[in-house]
Amino acid sequence: MPTYTLTTPLYYVNDRAHLGSTYTTLACDAIARFQRLQGQSVCFITGCDEHGLKIQRTAEAAGLLPQAHCDAVSEGYRDLWRRWQISNDRFIRTTDPRHRQLVEAFFARVEASGDVVEGRQQGWYCVACEEFKDPSASDPEPSCAIHLRPLEWRDEVNLFFRLSRYQQAIESLIARPGFVAPPSRRREVENFVAGGLKDFSISRQNLTWGIPVPGHPGHTFYVWFDALLGYLSALLDPSDPIDLDLLASRGWPARVHVIGKDILRFHAVFWPAMLLSAGMEVPGSVFGHGFLTREGQKMGKSLGNVLDPEQLLERCGTDAVRWYLLRDIPFGEDGDFQQQRFTDLVNNDLANTIGNLLNRTSSMARKWFAGCVPPSQEGLSMEHPLAQAAERAREVAIASLEVFDFRRGAEAILQLAIEANGHLNDRAPWKLMKQEENRDSVAADLYAVLETCRLVAVLLTPLLPDLATRILAQLGLEPIPCGASGTAAIPPPWSEPLRWGGLRGGSPLPEPVPVMQRLELESPL
Ligand code: MSP
């Protein structure tokens, strides 16, 4: 079975991680865990993009050598992802000496294909975007629409990649269903390509913080040319030689590159053309998610409303943030982070609907059934209404996660917990238990609700691995492994746990403790 390789963008180390990079990384983590649970061999790649003028200037401003600056910031990323419990299999840094060798090998192929030519690059450059811009000709002081900072004029001889030769190839590639996803993003790329692909410069002169271009003294690679190749370097094992032909057996092509919508063009147009030029396979899909705003406003340092992932993690925990971002924002569309809605959803869905359900059911079971899961043939039956509800939830959740529809998947799981709450309230075992002859039917009710809680936890595993683990522990069960592995797990690790009836009647239930703390945020995040 081919490896399911997926990537986050390689984050610039000009600054620490922000909510945008955290969002992409959390979503990729859910995909990676889900695919592992489905029995796929997964290679989940993230890392840092460390070259270019922007980073050189940031380091200078901090009075550091670029390498020292990159070491510190990339270590910060690595550490942050560890604390968010991100299950990446690889972490690539583009300042890794092996990456440099790979860039050289790749460039040699592109040059041999006749796709590198010298040309004069004139234009307005945004250092923060690391991209040439097309400001209106009448503007005497052009500035970047995203960064609101003045553009810099460039006029130099650069090496160009002959993208224009790939017009047809790229047109047919983006016509492939699912290559650019979601469909709304595809139109954007189609429009860009329909405008006619122009050669783009892949080297810079007078830039020291970059990889020197072999055979072209004075040139260093344009940061994007080098950065995209990080996806390939990441796949090679440390003991592998730098051999592009090995990549096919190491997980290339990637199944999906998950990115923000602002860097779609690089991934869906420039990157596949570069790969075709080097005689390599193109990725299966490029998924461009939307942008997060905060209380309706763009997040920015100048506005002072940036959400810091470190603080968010410390104050709210990984489950709360994962739940809100994945359950509330349709993946692919823009989303707005609203503190009130965030706390409401976390408290209603996780603390009340799921957490309290488990807590009260387990307390009743312990009280009336000698601290154990009540044994019940009736509860075990596939005909039980909750068994049927669980079956439906499982189908919807799996089908949704397969296509990155986290929202629908999360809602299906939540709906299952809502049905279990409804069942418990309708049956009112606390009343039934007053008559001894109802003992069997109370056992059936409690068994079925506890079993539903178990299945809720199993289904939540890819989305909220930490909460899932705590729920399972409350049922006396081990978590289902879905962390970084790199190896195929056959049969799928969750195929058995997903079956109704996994909870054993008579097994001891630990002392109930709340699995999810309510969020009580007194000040803005
Ligand atoms: N270094 C390049 C990527 C190279 S990939 C070979 C880069 N890095 S970045 O750190 O600037 O951006 C990383 C990601 O964060 C991008 O996917 C970008 O879309 C995303 N986001 C930045 N701000 C965002 C929001 N406000 N909301 C959601 N995602 C956002 O680009």
> In this structure, what CATH number is given to the domain that contains residue 386?
1.10.730.10
Per-residue buried b or exposed e for 451-464, using 16+ beta carbons within 10 Å of the residue's own CB: bbbbbbbbbbbbbb
- Ligand 1 mean position, distance from CA 9 (Å): 7
Q: Ligand 1: does its nearest atom lie under 6 Å from the Cβ of 440? A: no
CATH number of 258's domain = 3.40.50.620
Phi then psi for residue 184, to 5 deg, are -60, -30
Cβ–ligand 1 contact at 254 (below 6 Å): no
Q: Are residues 366 and 249 in the same domain?
A: no
- Nearest C-alpha neighbor of 261 from the set 286, 284, 290, 285: 290
Which atom of ligand 1 is closest in space to residue 292's alpha carbon? 27
- What letter represents residue 447's amino acid? Y
Ligand 1 center–CA 119 separation, angstroms: 29
For residue 309, give the 3-state DSSP assignment.
helix
Q: If we measure between CA atoms, which residue out of 251, 254, 279, 248 comes closest to residue 268?
A: 254
The predicted structure's pLDDT at residue 488: 54
Q: Is 3 touching ligand 1 by the criterion CB < 6 Å? A: no
Handedness of CA 335, 336, 340, 342 (dihedral sign): positive
Kindly report the backbone phi and psi dihedral angles of residue 502, in degrees, each rounded to the nearest multiple of 5, phi listed first: -70, -30
274 and 160 within one domain: yes
Per-residue pLDDT 10s for the chain (525 aa) are 789 999 999 999 998 888 999 999 999 999 999 999 999 999 999 999 999 999 999 999 999 999 999 999 999 999 999 999 999 999 999 999 999 999 999 999 999 999 999 999 899 999 988 899 988 877 888 998 888 889 999 999 999 999 999 999 999 999 999 999 999 999 999 999 999 999 999 999 989 999 999 999 999 999 999 999 999 999 999 999 999 999 999 999 999 999 999 999 999 999 999 999 999 999 999 999 999 999 988 887 667 788 999 999 999 999 999 999 999 999 999 999 999 999 999 999 999 999 999 999 999 999 999 999 999 999 999 999 999 999 999 999 999 999 999 999 999 999 999 999 999 999 999 999 999 999 999 999 999 999 999 999 999 999 999 999 999 999 999 999 999 975 555 678 899 999 999 999 999 999 999 999 999 988 888
Does 481 lie in the same domain as 350?
yes
Based on the domain organization, do 265 and 143 belong to the same domain?
yes
Residue of 7, 8, 12, 275 best suited for mutating to test ligand 1, as the one with most atoms within 8 Å of CB: 12
Residues 269 and 363 in one domain: no
Residue type, position 213, single letter = V
Domain assignment of residue 12, yes or no = yes
The protein residue whose alpha carbon is closest to atom 14 in ligand 1 is 21
- Do 100 and 231 fall within a single domain? yes
**Residue 315 within any structural domain of the chain:** no
Do both 169 and 238 map to the same domain?
A: yes
Query: CA-CA distance, 224 to 203, in Å (whole number)?
Result: 10
Q: In which residue are the tokens 């050669």 written?
A: 199
Same domain as 69, residue 174 = yes
Q: Where are the alpha helices (DSSP H) in 38-126?
A: 53-61, 66-83, 97-112
For tokens 């583009």, what's the residue?
Answer: 94
CA distances from 315 to 78, 339, 468 (A): 20, 13, 20
φ, ψ for residue 208, nearest 5 deg: -90, -30
Burial of 523 (0-12, 13-18, 19+ CB in 10 A): exposed
Q: Is the CB of 178 under 6 A from ligand 1?
A: no
Could you tell me if 494 and 349 lie in one domain?
yes
Q: State which residues form the domain around 14.
A: 4-289
Do 278 and 364 belong to one domain? no
Tell me, yes or no, whether 322 lies in a domain.
Answer: no
**Which residues make beta-bridge pairs with 288?**
259
Q: Which residues contact 343 (CB under 8 A, 6 or more apart)?
A: 519, 520, 521
Residue with CA closest to ligand 1 atom 17? 260
Structural contact between residues 345 and 358, judged by C-beta atoms closer than 8 angstroms: no
The strand ranges marked E within 391-445 are none
Question: What distance in Å separates the CA atoms of residue 84 and residue 216, rounded to the nearest whole number?
Answer: 43
201 CA to centre of ligand 1 in angstroms: 21
Tokens for 58? Answer: 């940031």
Q: Which of 6, 7, 24, 302 to mutate to test the pocket of ligand 1 (most atoms within 8 A of CB)?
A: 24
* In contact, 419 and 389? CB cutoff 8 Å: yes
Q: How many residues appear in the chain? A: 525
Last residue within a domain, chosen from 256, 289, 322: 289
DSSP character at residue 136 = -
Closest by alpha carbon to 232, among 298, 183, 278, 300?
Answer: 278
| Structure tokens given for 78 | 């690595």
Residues 357 and 232 in one domain: no
Report the Cα 511 to chain-centroid distance in Å: 35
Residue to substitute in 144, 291, 334 for testing ligand 1 pocket (most ligand atoms within 8 angstroms of CB)? 291
Show which of 229, 262, 289 is a domain's final residue.
289
Residue 76 counted as domain residue: yes
The answer to whether residue 318 sits within a structural domain is no
For ligand 1, is residue 226 a contact (CB within 6 Å)?
A: no
300/242 Cα distance (integer angstroms): 40
- Kindly state the tokens that stand for 395: 């189908």
- Does a structural domain hold residue 331? no
Instruction: Let me know: does 274 contact 232? Beta carbons within 8 Å.
Output: no
Cα–Cα dist 55/15, whole Å: 9
Interatomic CA distance for residues 115 and 107, integer angstroms:
10
Mutate to test the pocket of ligand 1, among 258, 263, 334 (most ligand atoms within 8 A of CB): 263
Distance 287 CA to ligand 1 centre (A): 13
Instruction: Assess if residue 366 is contained within a domain.
Output: yes
- 356 lies in the same domain as 215: no
Residue 80: inside a domain, yes or no? yes
The total number of structural domains in the chain stands at 2
CA 11 to ligand 1: nearest atom: 10
The last residue of one of the domains, among 263, 289, 315, is: 289
